[in-house]
A and B are shown apart, each in its own frame.
Chain A
Amino acid sequence: MTTARAWILLLPATLFLVVGFAGPIFFLGWTSLNVKGGGFGLEQYRRFLLDPFYRGFLTETVVISLVTTAVCVVLAYPLAYQLARTGARARSVLLMLLIAPLMIGDVVRGYGWLIALGDYGVLNQLLLAAGVVAKPIRLIFTPTGVVIGLAQVLLPFMVLPLAAAIGTIPVDLEEASLSLGARHGRIFRKVLLPLTLPGLAAGVVIVFALAMGSFAIPMFLGGVRVKMVGPLVFQQAMLTVDWPFAAAISSVLFATSLLLLVGYTWLGGGARRGLEAAGR
């Protein structure tokens, strides 16, 4: 095939994203520069980034996203290792159980966590019945609750690139270290961790970016108490109907993710490998 023909095949998808993605994002950026009563300026950005009330949203979102990413890293390693090192049959069962929740959607999962973590939810009734606590512990409408929900929703995005990375490491390498007297912890630090760094980086970027832009889980589990940027955008756009302000917040969110993605792609060629591994 000639390059010209290849471009003809690329054109529909490229144009579709110009009209449906890039164009609207630019329009959003333009909207965010509108100032009340006409004219252009950075007033909306000043309000979002300098007003302590709104800046609180940004800080809390970053903290929750970082904690979620850390929780995912810790939970993902054992799972990824199991997935990569187990037999074909067990692997497909594990893979099915990992991918199905991914396809189920945030509303169902957010609702499930609401029932599980509510003041009189599953967890609290179990703890009360077992006499572990005297009164229900508060989990929903707290940052902890949001982190639990987000970690569950985003965990597969960490596991898949990690499992792919572990899969490329020969088992011999671990066996050799074992026979040379290395302990498990040391094998993890000296062999597994360094060799899975590209996969880990891919997972960290994806999970952090998706947590920053999350919307349904914070709405369900955070309510109005937990201040996250996603629900704030929705509230400003659909309830307060302050479009320039919603546009400015979205632009900050978008720029953060874009910077993260571009920087990461630039730094490591691993982006391509890792992202493909994640199936995303």
Chain B
Amino acid sequence: MNARSPFFRAATAVIYLFLLTPILVVAIASLNDAASLAFPPKRLSLRWYGAFLSAGEFGRATGVSLEVALATAIIALALGTAAAYGLTRAPVPGGFVVLQYLTAPLILPALVVGLALLQVYSRLGVSPSLASLVAGHAVVALPYTVRTMYAAFAAYDTSLDDAAATLGARPLRTFFRVTLPLVMPSVVAGGVFAFAISFSNIMISAFLSGPSTTTLPVRMYNYIEFANDPTIAAISTVVVLATFLTVWGLHKTVGLGGFFR
């Protein structure tokens, strides 16, 4: 078979078009001047971007989402890096099971995690706050950092650490001055992915967001329930552009190899 054959190229193009359809449609709809979602737009305008910027509720929700995503990425990175280092640097009995356990929240439904945490919080009398929301997000983000860091440490050449130790560096110093700088690309990739997972999350937030901790996806969802103007399309387009820029930045700096092994 030949990946360069016209058939394969055409098939790839069509499938990519399918993959990008909702994103392209949202971008076009955001430029529509009319309040109804007519297609194709009769007149173009940027007024829905203005609506996004001037509506304080969306600004607040964006702030909440950014805060939660940043905290989630930091916690997931710290816990995930330590665990991955432990798993790869010493023979741990049942290490495979531990790895499966730490990455289980990936495949097991996040919806169930959200509901389970809500019931525990309610039982313990924990009211919705940024911290209670971050805890839920960190559960679903942790597997991403564990996997990325596990792969990075597994491929790491430990003779470099031995050399540092021979030269008199203590383990902690070796880790922070030698090991960590060398796996930094994976730290960045894992952190960005954890951030994105949290920023776009709806399943956990739908259960754990409170009135003062409404995240952007929840706010958007609630808005769509009763209004049908392109404000949401404008917000979505901003999110899409930011995501593509981030992925492109990752590609240019640390590479996307971590997603393709």
A→B interface (CB under 8 Å): 1-3, 5-10, 12-14, 16-17, 20-21, 23-25, 27-28, 31, 75, 78-79, 81-83, 85-86, 91-92, 94-101, 103-116, 118, 120-122, 125, 149, 152, 155-156, 160, 163-164, 167, 174, 184, 187-188, 192, 205-206, 209-210, 212-213, 215-216, 219-220, 230, 233-234, 237-238, 243, 246-247, 250-251, 253-254, 257-258, 260-261, 265, 272, 275-277, 279-280
Taking the closest CB of chain A, its distance from the CB of B93, in whole angstroms, is 7
Chain A residues, Cβ within 8 Å of B136: 20
Cα distance A96–B248 in the bound complex, in angstroms: 7
Cα distance, A152 to B25, chains bound together (Å): 14
Q: Does B52 contact A (CB under 8 A)?
A: no
Q: Describe B's contact surface by its main secondary structure.
A: helix
Measured between beta carbons, the chain B residues less than 8 angstroms from A24 are 113, 116-117, 119-120
Mind listing 23 A-B residue pairs with CB under 8 Å?
A5-B86, A9-B83, A10-B82, A10-B86, A21-B113, A25-B112, A86-B3, A95-B260, A96-B244, A103-B247, A107-B202, A107-B236, A111-B22, A112-B23, A112-B24, A115-B39, A118-B37, A120-B37, A152-B21, A167-B260, A174-B1, A213-B108, A237-B115
Task: Given A6-B92, A10-B92, A112-B236, decide whether A152 and B108 contact each other with a Cβ distance below 8 A.
Answer: no
Interface size of B as a range: 35 or more
Which of A75, A187, A250 has a CB less than 8 Å from the CB of B18?
A: A75
Cβ of A255 to closest chain B Cβ, rounded Å: 10
Determine whether the beta carbon of B243 is less than 8 Å from that of A17.
no
Partner of A257, one of B18, B100, B107, B120: B107
Q: What is the count of residue pairs linking A and B with beta-carbon distances less than 8 angstroms?
A: 307
User: Which chain A residues border B86 with CB–CB below 8 Å?
Assistant: 1, 5-10
Residues of B within 8 A of A82 (CB): 3, 8-9, 12
A279/B82 contact (C-beta < 8 A), A3-B92, A105-B217, A238-B207 known: no
Q: Does B224 contact A (CB under 8 A)?
A: yes
What residues of chain B lie closer than 8 Å to A17, measured between beta carbons?
A: 101-102, 104-105, 139, 142
The residues of B with any CB-CB pair to A shorter than 8 Å are 1, 3, 8-9, 11-12, 15-16, 18-26, 29, 37-40, 78-80, 82-83, 85-87, 89-93, 96, 98-113, 115-120, 123, 135-136, 138-139, 142-144, 146-148, 150-151, 171, 193, 196-197, 199-203, 206-207, 217, 220-221, 224, 232-233, 236, 239-240, 243-244, 246-248, 251, 256, 258-261
